[in-house]
């Protein structure tokens, strides 16, 4: 049992160290209306209602393999997620990047933030949109450091610990069963090979050899000797009769 627990502890430690944590960083980008859509002197944020369709087009294009693929190839094991921010009704895109290294995760986030405005400008250039009607993008919030995600690490560690404990319990029960069988076999063998002894009152109760010091033990011995003498006399009489014949 103790050895199994020690082995389980070692396996759990190796599982914790062999599975590295991942890192995650987030940013939010809002689309701003073109200059021609805003009344002179008015607040541009009051004209965000018509930009949801443009946000959808930008999201699909920026997340496509031909646009975001080169970034993912530059940072193996990383991922980029772009979606509309569900916490607000405005044209706000939530960008989430994940990687295996903290520094690379932040570098990927910065590259993604550069990629989105460039993709938006490229889409509008392809449509020959005049400069006064161009939609622009503005970063609202950007993480300054990544968040450590240890979910996978914890899962693997828990699996190693539970698996080790299960194997330890099964092995312990199996070994105990084998030892019990061997102990029972040795006990039965010792009972089968033990010589028969005169039984006194104490032996009858406890199953042990009679104690001569106990009352009744001497009577049993005398009776046994008497029986042996009678049988010996009968045997001698029988031999004498055979000789006379």
pLDDT tens by residue, 116-143:
999 999 999 999 999 999 999 999 999 9
Mean pLDDT for 209-230 is: 58
pLDDT higher for 178 or 132? 132
Kindly report which listed range (110-114, 152-156, 217-221) carries the lowest average pLDDT score.
217-221
Terminal CA-to-CA distance of the chain, rounded, Å? 78
Could you tell me where the DSSP H helices lie in the chain? 2-18, 52-62, 65-74, 102-126, 151-193, 201-206, 217-244
Q: How confident is the model at residue 205 (pLDDT cuts 50, 70, 90)?
A: very low
Between 50-54, 94-98, 104-108, 193-197, the lowest mean confidence (pLDDT) is in: 193-197
Q: 207: pLDDT confidence band, cut at 50, 70 and 90? A: very low
Give pLDDT tens digits for 54-91.
999 999 999 999 999 999 999 988 999 999 998 888 89
Average pLDDT on 225-241 reads 64
Instruction: Give the pLDDT confidence of 140-176 residue by residue, as tens digits.
Output: 999 999 998 866 666 666 776 777 777 777 777 777 7
Tell me, yes or no, if the pTM score tops 0.85: no
Whether residue 43 contacts residue 103, with contact meaning beta carbons closer than 8 Å, is answered with: no
The sign one gets for the Cα dihedral 53, 54, 56, 61 is positive
Q: Taking Cα atoms as reference points, which of 153, 155, 157, 151 lies closest to residue 8?
A: 157
Comparing 214 with 103, the larger pLDDT belongs to 103
Q: Are 58 and 44 in contact (CB under 8 A)?
A: no
Cβ-count burial 148-187 (b if 16+ within 10 Å, e if not): eeeeebeeebeebbeebeeebeeeeeeeeeeeeeeeeeee
């Amino acid at each position: 049992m103790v050895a199994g627990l020690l082995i389980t502890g070692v396996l759990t430690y190796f599982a914790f160290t062999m599975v590295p944590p991942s890192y995650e960083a987030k940013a939010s980008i809002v689309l701003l209306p073109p200059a021609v859509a805003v009344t002179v002197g008015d607040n541009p944020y009051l004209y965000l209602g018509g930009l949801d369709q443009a946000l959808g087009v930008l999201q699909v294009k920026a997340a496509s393999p031909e646009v975001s693929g080169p970034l993912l190839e530059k940072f193996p094991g990383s991922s980029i997620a772009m979606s509309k921010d569900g916490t607000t009704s405005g044209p706000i895109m939530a960008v989430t990047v994940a990687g295996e290294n903290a520094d690379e995760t932040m570098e990927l986030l910065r590259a993604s933030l550069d990629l989105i405005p460039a993709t938006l400008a490229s889409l509008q250039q392809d449509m020959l949109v005049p400069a006064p009607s161009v939609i622009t993008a503005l970063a609202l919030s950007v993480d300054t450091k990544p968040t450590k995600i240890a979910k996978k690490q914890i899962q693997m560690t828990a699996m190693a610990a539970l698996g080790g404990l299960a194997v330890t319990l099964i092995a312990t029960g199996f070994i105990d069963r084998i030892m019990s069988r061997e102990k029972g076999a040795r006990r039965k063998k010792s009972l089968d090979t033990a010589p028969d002894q005169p039984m006194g009152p104490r032996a009858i109760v406890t199953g042990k050899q009679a104690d001569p010091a106990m009352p009744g033990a001497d009577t049993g011995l005398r009776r046994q000797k008497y029986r042996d003498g009678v049988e010996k006399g009968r045997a001698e009489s029988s031999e004498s009769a055979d000789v006379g014949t």
